[in-house]
Amino acid sequence: MFSFDKNKKDAKESQERSEINSSPAISPSNELINSVNPVRVKKDTFISQGACMTGSLVVDGNITVEGRVEGDVQCDNTIKVDHTGQVNGEMKSQQIIINGRVEGRIAASVVAILAQGKVFGDIFTDELSIEKGGVFTGQSHPLTPPAQSQEKLTYVEKKKEKTSKAPAEQENVVALASNAPMA
């Protein structure tokens, strides 16, 4: 009742394939390619566990240290030192999170020493937090200089007016005076 002609079907499929393969490929126009600007994305930089880097590291994005860095580390955003990470050198960033070991000077707006973090050196920051178990040995200093609202004190020398008791007695009195106008 039904008869299939396999040869006719195979010939028809091969002819369709050859037509598809012989058709010209669509090529994108140069205008389209040039009109699309590449999007620049800040990428994270990782120093993996077991890796050792020697020298200065300056990055636009974030840095995560799981290995060892011998040298200075600087980035625009966040530096994170994981529990396996070690840094021997100066670190500068907006935010520094330490859960590993750091020896050297640190400068950031925000510094957080987590429970497994150990810092040996000076920290320059406006906001410092240390979790229970975290270790900080060194000195902390404000990142921004103290406000100039404190009155600058100067020495003023005043001569005591002559009194009727002792005309020959003149005494120099030194007093602290404020630069602010007196009310």
108 has which bridge partners?
93
47 has which bridge partners?
65
103: tokens are 């020896």
Domain assignments of the chain as residue spans, ordered by start:
45-141
How do strand 45-47 and strand 172-178 relate by DSSP bridges?
unpaired
Helix (H) or strand (E) holding 182: none
CA atoms of 148 and 143, how far apart (whole Å): 15
Percentage of the chain beyond pLDDT 70 is 56
Q: Which of 124, 115, 59, 108 is nearest to 82 (CA)?
A: 115
Q: Is 85 exposed, middle or buried (0-12, 13-18, 19+ CB in 10 A)?
A: buried
Region of 60 (left: φ > 0; alpha: ψ -120 to 50; beta: rest) is: alpha
- How does pLDDT run across 124-163, given as a tens digit for each residue? 999 999 999 999 999 999 988 766 544 454 444 444 444 4
- How does pLDDT run across 96-129, given as a tens digit for each residue? 999 999 999 999 999 999 999 999 999 999 999 9
* pTM (predicted TM-score): 0.59
